[in-house]
């Protein structure tokens, strides 16, 4: 899904694999799109090492999911699936996208994760965001070059991390669409013999994902939510407008 070269994203989600954002921040992307913000997704791998399906399957499914999420731009790099590394070459590949889309906010995977690709994507994405703002850090000429750009805000999707989130995004109005976007990956989540011992049965996916969203929603006093971590402290202007009731 390629938008015109002049497409600019308010929010860019960077993920290791196609289907990661649907699980961790799909509801947030839906909420941002509903507010009139431009959203984008950069998947770092193409899914060639997946137990189920093929990279071609993932490409078709990712396009369908992007449409459901209201994402205006989605592309996948060709970093090796299962072997993402934080190298200069990989940072450059992400920097070219950052300088093209010029997002204000970047969503990254939390920097500690069960899957090594997820953890590495978090640190790789952070390093790329920093280097992207250096005027003398060259990415080379070509369509993905551009003027230096550093996102204003980096937040980490922490759904599968055993940490207390910094904040929750209320995704209650979008929970069904988020589920539809995840289930667009039929090659991954439809019941089948391949990988049956590793994957959750299709009938349980809805129950589990809704339960997780319900848990995080309850922490913030809403029905369904997605959790995020930020490294910096927050800033408050008016104590009387702080959301989430204390008692």
- Global confidence as pTM: 0.92
The pLDDT of residue 146 is 78
> What average pLDDT does range 126-138 have in this prediction?
91
pLDDT of 140-165, one tens digit each? Answer: 655 446 789 999 999 999 999 999 99
How much of the chain exceeds pLDDT 90, in percent?
Answer: 79
Q: What is the pLDDT of residues 181-209, one digit of tens each?
A: 999 999 888 656 555 556 677 788 999 99
First to last CA, the chain: 46
Contact 157, 26 (CB under 8 A): no
pLDDT bin (cut points 50, 70, 90) of residue 54 is confident
Inform me whether the pLDDT recorded for 240 exceeds 70. Answer: yes
Predicted confidence at residue 5, as pLDDT, reads 64
Q: What distance in Å separates the CA atoms of residue 42 and residue 146, rounded to the nearest whole number?
A: 17
Q: Which domains does the chain have, with CATH numbers?
A: 11-230 (3.40.50.10320)
Using only C-alpha atoms, the chain has a radius of gyration, in whole angstroms, of 18
DSSP 242: -
- Report the 10 Å Cβ neighbour count for 128: 23
What number is the average pLDDT over the span 104-130?
96
Q: What is the rounded CA–CA span in Å between residue 64 and residue 53?
A: 16
How confident is the model at residue 121, as a pLDDT? 97
Cα dihedral sign for 170, 173, 174, 175? positive
Q: What is the rounded CA–CA span in Å between residue 146 and residue 79?
A: 22
What phi and psi, each to the nearest 5 degrees, are found at residue 10? -75, -40
């Amino acid at each position: 899904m390629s938008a015109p070269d002049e497409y600019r994203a308010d929010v860019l989600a960077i993920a290791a694999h196609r289907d990661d954002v649907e699980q961790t921040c799909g509801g947030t992307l839906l909420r941002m799109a509903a507010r009139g913000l431009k959203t984008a997704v950069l998947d770092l791998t193409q899914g060639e090492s997946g137990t189920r399906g093929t990279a071609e399957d993932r490409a078709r499914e990712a396009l369908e999911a992007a449409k459901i999420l209201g994402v205006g731009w989605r592309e996948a790099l060709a970093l090796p699936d299962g072997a993402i590394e934080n190298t200069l070459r990989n940072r450059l590949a992400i920097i070219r996208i950052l300088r093209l889309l010029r997002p204000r906010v970047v969503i990254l995977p939390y920097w500690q994760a069960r899957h090594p690709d997820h953890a590495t994507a978090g640190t790789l994405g952070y390093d790329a965001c920093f280097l992207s703002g250096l005027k003398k850090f060259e990415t080379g000429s070509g369509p993905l070059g551009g003027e230096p750009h550093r996102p204003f805000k980096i937040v980490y999707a922490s759904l599968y991390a055993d940490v207390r989130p910094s904040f929750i995004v209320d995704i209650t109005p979008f929970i069904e669409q988020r589920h539809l976007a995840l289930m667009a990956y039929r090659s991954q989540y439809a019941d089948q013999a391949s990988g049956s011992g590793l994957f959750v049965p299709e009938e349980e996916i809805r129950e589990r994902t809704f339960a997780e969203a319900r848990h995080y929603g309850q922490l913030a006093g809403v029905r369904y939510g997605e959790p995020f971590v930020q490294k910096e402290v927050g800033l408050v202007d008016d104590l009387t407008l702080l959301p989430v009731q204390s008692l």
